[in-house]
């Protein structure tokens, strides 16, 4: 039976072991001066379908697939018939005959699930309008590296209740992390996802909160996380959102309320001077470039799990 990774919840009880595998792959790469000894994807092909532009996601997947011995095929939506009338279902059926896995960056979760529903090979969500699970897999790995654990920590997310917030909320609940999101009331995360996270949190004895006060949210937090206020496709809302979100900027004054050993996270790209200030992004508490590196290792662990024969 094929596995898909459309939501962070698709990792199920494998989440912790995926992070452990990612840490091992990272250590192996560093010991081997840039080379991974094992080639579990040797002879296998991974199709990368991208409807949105990308730096970290595309490069980390292509490099990771290569390191694991596989072959990555970048498929821009501009080059596919899917963008010119062919259905997503037909595209899934055809590409499943050629490749061993599909990585899809989509505008809509509806299309993501349609592709997965008609594909006979694993499908990985490389971002859609509902979730960004690969990012959160790397984020949880980064937090565990810095603190040696996940359970019992407090993570404060400040900003837009977007796809990153959704996956982070779910991933925190799965890992026993106490999660609080501070968002403007009109930009709160999905109630459905919030309810799902709350249900999961009961099993792992942690808390999930959504509030509107960033100062309360970050108080004594171990992790402070933010993301862009204007996502791809929302450019028309830029001026309005910047006005609404300015009180939610992660700056030195806000960070002073967090735990003295707190780390700052951002999935990048960052709009410096907007959701986060330069002094915080480049400061001693920032781990944003560790996050970015860990996309490579976390996604390799994910592919090995999904594609193992």
Sheet holding 154-158, edge to edge: 208-211, 178-182, 154-158, 223-226, 263-266
Given a cut of 70, whether residue 78 has pLDDT beyond it is: yes
Given a cut of 90, whether residue 188 has pLDDT beyond it is: yes
Residues labelled as active-site residues = 105, 132, 135, 227, 267, 295
Q: Which domains are present in the chain?
A: 8-131+294-307 (3.40.50.1370), 135-291 (3.40.50.1370)
Residue 224 to residue 206: CA distance in whole angstroms: 17
What's the rounded mean pLDDT across residues 266-279?
Answer: 97
Say if pTM beats, i.e. exceeds, 0.85.
yes
Q: Indicate the pLDDT class of residue 99, thresholds 50, 70 and 90.
A: very high
Given a cut of 90, whether residue 215 has pLDDT beyond it is: yes
Residue 171 to residue 143: CA distance in whole angstroms: 12
Given a cut of 70, whether residue 80 has pLDDT beyond it is: yes
**pLDDT tens digit string along 13-68?**
999 999 999 999 999 988 875 567 779 999 999 999 999 889 999 999 999 999 99
**pLDDT tens digit string along 133-153?**
999 999 999 999 999 999 999
Residue 233: its pLDDT value, please? Answer: 67
Residue 232: its pLDDT value, please? Answer: 67
CA atoms within 13 A on the CB side of 255: 25
Residue 213 to residue 223: CA distance in whole angstroms: 16
Q: Indicate the pLDDT class of residue 100, thresholds 50, 70 and 90.
A: very high
Given a cut of 80, whether residue 129 has pLDDT beyond it is: yes
- In 3-state terms, what secondary structure has residue 162? coil
Given a cut of 70, whether residue 284 has pLDDT beyond it is: yes
160: Cβ contacts below 8 Å, ≥ 6 apart: 183, 187, 227, 228, 229, 231, 241, 245
Q: Alpha helix locations (H) across 176-225?
A: 191-204, 214-218
232 vs 170, which has greater pLDDT?
170
Residue 35: its pLDDT value, please? Answer: 64
What's the rounded mean pLDDT across residues 235-264?
Answer: 94
Q: Across the chain, what does the average pLDDT equal?
A: 95
Residue 127: its pLDDT value, please? Answer: 97
Given a cut of 90, whether residue 306 has pLDDT beyond it is: yes
Given a cut of 90, whether residue 85 has pLDDT beyond it is: no
Dihedral (CA of 171, 173, 179, 185) sign:
positive
Q: Lowest mean pLDDT of 35-49, 189-203, 271-285, name the range.
A: 35-49
Residue 83: its pLDDT value, please? Answer: 59
Residue 235: its pLDDT value, please? Answer: 75
Q: Answer whether 214's CB lies under 8 Å from 160's CB.
A: no
Q: Give how far the C-alpha of residue 272 lies from the chain's centroid of Cα atoms, to the nearest Å.
A: 20
């Amino acid at each position: 039976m094929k596995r898909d990774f459309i939501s962070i919840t698709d990792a199920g009880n494998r989440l912790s072991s995926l992070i452990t595998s990612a840490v091992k792959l990272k250590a192996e790469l560093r010991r081997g001066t840039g080379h991974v000894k094992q080639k579990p994807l040797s002879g296998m092909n991974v199709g990368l379908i991208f409807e949105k532009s990308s730096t970290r996601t595309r490069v980390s997947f292509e490099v990771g697939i290569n390191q694991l011995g596989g072959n990555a095929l970048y498929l821009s939506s501009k080059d596919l018939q899917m963008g010119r009338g062919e259905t997503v279902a037909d595209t899934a059926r055809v590409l499943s005959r050629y490749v061993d896995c599909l990585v899809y960056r989509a505008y809509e979760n509806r299309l993501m699930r349609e592709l997965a529903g008609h594909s006979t090979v694993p499908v990985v969500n490389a971002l859609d309008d509902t979730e960004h699970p690969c990012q959160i897999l790397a984020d949880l790995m980064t937090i565990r590296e810095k603190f040696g654990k996940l359970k019992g920590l407090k993570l404060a997310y400040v900003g837009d209740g977007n796809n990153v917030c959704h996956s982070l909320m779910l991933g925190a609940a799965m890992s026993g992390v106490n999660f609080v999101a501070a968002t403007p009331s009109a930009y709160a995360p999905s109630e459905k996802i919030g309810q799902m996270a709350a249900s999961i949190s009961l099993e792992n004895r942690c808390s999930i909160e959504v509030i509107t006060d960033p100062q309360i949210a970050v108080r004594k937090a171990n992790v402070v996380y933010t993301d862009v206020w204007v996502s791809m496709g929302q450019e028309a809302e830029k001026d309005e959102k910047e006005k609404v979100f300015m009180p939610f900027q992660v700056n030195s004054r806000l960070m002073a309320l967090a735990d003295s050993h707190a780390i700052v996270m951002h999935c990048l790209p960052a709009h410096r001077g907007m959701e986060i200030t330069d002094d915080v992004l480049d400061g001693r508490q920032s781990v944003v470039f560790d996050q970015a590196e860990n996309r490579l290792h976390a996604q390799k662990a994910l592919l090995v799990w999904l594609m193992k024969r």
